[in-house]
Structure 1
């Protein structure tokens, strides 16, 4: 038998029985009981038996069969030949069956803002006891991500990142990296795969939590400006969520100076007038790319360079957003 082989490969076993005596060996029979977990190819029997017949002086007969095993280890195989007249002989040989086995690990950026880059590190290791040949790592890019770059000669085949690792000796490993760009919020899993000519494919998955942020723009516009004493005017307040996540508990409070009288307040939520101040009920949720709008009607009372101040707060804002609009009253 060959000194080494791999699992599930056909291994040739060659038995040679020879008559080294000075007469004819009659009714020669060769038997070979196979060791446990070593199986004959094409036969369910555990003992290989060959009726050779007679062997003349100096004559030899070669017998060949194939075995295989799905298990690693050292296999010692002993065959025995017998003939009439209590003639017998035996011979032993052994083979070591090895296998390459891949292990794969993957780490991803744990948490990132949507629209930012996500980094991956993938490590393949040969944890078997045989050479892993032509190792390849593949990593399909999720639909919500886009490829930016990869280390170690990464190729983008279709929408799959591919690394040709080559051969890995037992215990050897290789680490590659990739950078993708996110586009949406949510948890995005990503699975990488590794395989070789002899080893079974393995996979590893890690996920990134992509979070969004509300970006609420506060705008205040007066109309008309300038304003004559006694005339009516309108302040329009707009809160536009330009971010990629909803804003919560958005509150608007407006205040004017004594030069003006607040007549009414209306809009996306109800407003309460108290003197020179209007407080609007909160917007519970302002979705991304949506806006809320309010209008305050005023009457000009006395001339001056008047300031109209709006304050916006929300659950996500750590500080109020202030917007001041100037109006000339004459």
Structure 2
């Protein structure tokens, strides 16, 4: 009898008088051999059974022979060891993660750790899919007795694996991120749930092995995510104030942005610079030939902030548009951002008007000086506006301020007086006006020219002129000395009686002064 697991015995070849009875697992071989002559050897009786992994181990079989006519009898035992293979599988990723553009890969190792040969071996590995993923077998790092191919996206290694043998197969795929929109190919959007994580499970089976051991591994494809912002320091500034922009480049992705490059052609007309402490972050920033560049590697979550400024003058008024672009070698993204700032110039005017073109002596003379800045959204504030006005001098002239702001005053002695208005800022639409006056006298007749000037910190200087005249001064001449008259009748005296009173009155206007002549009483002789 022989029993072990699921062994199912049969006679091969059949043998007359022999039969096997009983259920599988408890079978008995019985032979009725009849009479056997002495010194005779009977033909060999051969029994056999297929084996399965459940039968692995030592199968022991004892046969007994007996006779009915004697005391002879015998038994013998034979053992056979059923050797079973022991399959094991291991799968490892080349790396936990890679940056897009790098190669991903897995190594699958199948081993027979058993004592028997594994036959009908089939290692099956449905490979993960994703944009830009194309798997191939790395023959340089593949070895073993199995035959490996990739068919319809599944890796198969088939054949037999002797005890102690190992099959190693290495598979790889490039990754990529190209294009945008409908043409985008991004390996970061493949794998499990389109997350960029590539899960992979391989299993192995054999026709003489129970079970299908499996092993899994995963590898992530990581992408950077580029962003850039540009913000002006101010929407507008007054001429003379600096303008500036802050550029921020950031990587919000899971992979480093390698070959990170910020490119910002700066607006012309002013002299740009990076102030001390104006650049923070891992990139190297500089301004060359009118272009700001920042280069290097930007780690996940990192940012580069750079502040650029330029001084301005009245000659720099206008709008300054600026656009910065951010790129990296491992990303097709090209984000950009723009902003603008304006330099506003003041539109100053200076006017000087006389109270009157001319006045009579004894009347007041005066001038009004007005500095104004035009209104409007494109007009800036005039900074540090100063008015200076050396006032005209003359006999009887002494200037004073009739009305005006508190920053205006008259300094200097009579005859060298100066109107001075200290620095003020004039916003768009604002003005500053001062009225100066002086009394005049009978000796003040003259023309009084006056020139005022204006300076500003952030605008060109200006000047304005006006004049006034004092007229009609009255000058009384001293009386003439008395003269001797002869009694003769003078010509045209009116008669010979000499008693005619002659009256001569002369009126002469000279240089704007009225001169009265003397009266003469003439007597006729």
TM-score under structure 1 length normalisation:
0.59
Of 113-122 and 33-42, deviating more is 33-42
In structure 1, distance between residues paired with 2:272 and 2:251: 27
Q: How far does residue 62 in structure 1 lie from its aligned partner after superposition?
A: 1.6
**Cα pair distance change 1:147/1:49, threshold 3 Å:** same
Note the alpha carbon deviations across 1:45-98, whole angstroms, 9 max, x for none.
Answer: 762223432222221122122133233443321112233346533111122332
**Cα pair distance change 1:23/1:327, threshold 3 Å:** farther
Q: How far does residue 201 in structure 1 lie from its aligned partner after superposition?
A: 4.0
Note the alpha carbon deviations across 1:135-159, whole angstroms, 9 max, x for none.
Answer: 4433211234432444337422222
**Cα pair distance change 1:148/1:89, threshold 3 Å:** closer
**1:104 correspondence with 2:228:** yes
**1:193 correspondence with 2:193:** no
Contact 1:136–1:196 at 8 Å: present in 2 too?
A: yes
Q: How far does residue 217 in structure 1 lie from its aligned partner after superposition?
A: 6.0
Of 86-95 and 45-54, deviating more is 45-54
**1:324 correspondence with 2:466:** yes
Alignment match, 2:436: none
**1:120 correspondence with 2:120:** no
**Cα pair distance change 1:168/1:8, threshold 3 Å:** closer
Contact 1:25–1:84 at 8 Å: present in 2 too?
A: yes
2:114 aligned counterpart, secondary structure: coil
**1:37 correspondence with 2:179:** no
Alignment match, 1:61: 167
Contact 2:350–2:464 at 8 Å: present in 1 too?
A: no
Alignment match, 1:70: 188
In structure 2, distance between residues paired with 1:115 and 1:147: 15
The equivalences for 1:68-217 within 5 A come to 68=175, 69-71=187-189, 72-85=195-208, 88-108=212-232, 109-113=234-238, 116-133=241-258, 135-150=260-275, 151-152=278-279, 154-164=285-295, 166-181=296-311, 184-199=316-331, 200-216=333-349
Larger radius of gyration between Structure 1 and Structure 2 = 2
In structure 1, distance between residues paired with 2:378 and 2:339: 26
Note the alpha carbon deviations across 1:201-241, whole angstroms, 9 max, x for none.
Answer: 43221111333433446699xxxxxxxxxxxxxxxxxxxxx
Note the alpha carbon deviations across 1:14-61, whole angstroms, 9 max, x for none.
Answer: 112222232223343332223353764267976222343222222112
Q: How far does residue 133 in structure 1 lie from its aligned partner after superposition?
A: 4.4
Q: Which has the higher strand share?
A: 1
In structure 1, distance between residues paired with 2:151 and 2:321: 49
Contact 1:214–1:246 at 8 Å: present in 2 too?
A: no
Alignment match, 1:270: none
Contact 2:110–2:167 at 8 Å: present in 1 too?
A: yes
**Cα pair distance change 1:170/1:51, threshold 3 Å:** closer
1:170 aligned counterpart, secondary structure: coil
Alignment match, 1:285: none
Runs of 5+ consecutive residues of structure 1 not aligned to the other structure = 221-244, 248-302, 311-320
Runs of 5+ consecutive residues of structure 2 not aligned to the other structure = 1-92, 137-149, 176-186, 190-194, 354-376, 380-443, 452-462, 472-510, 512-525
Q: What RMSD, in angstroms, separates the aligned Cα atoms of the two structures?
A: 3.9
Aligned residues: 242
In structure 2, distance between residues paired with 1:79 and 1:17: 10
In structure 2, distance between residues paired with 1:328 and 1:45: 115
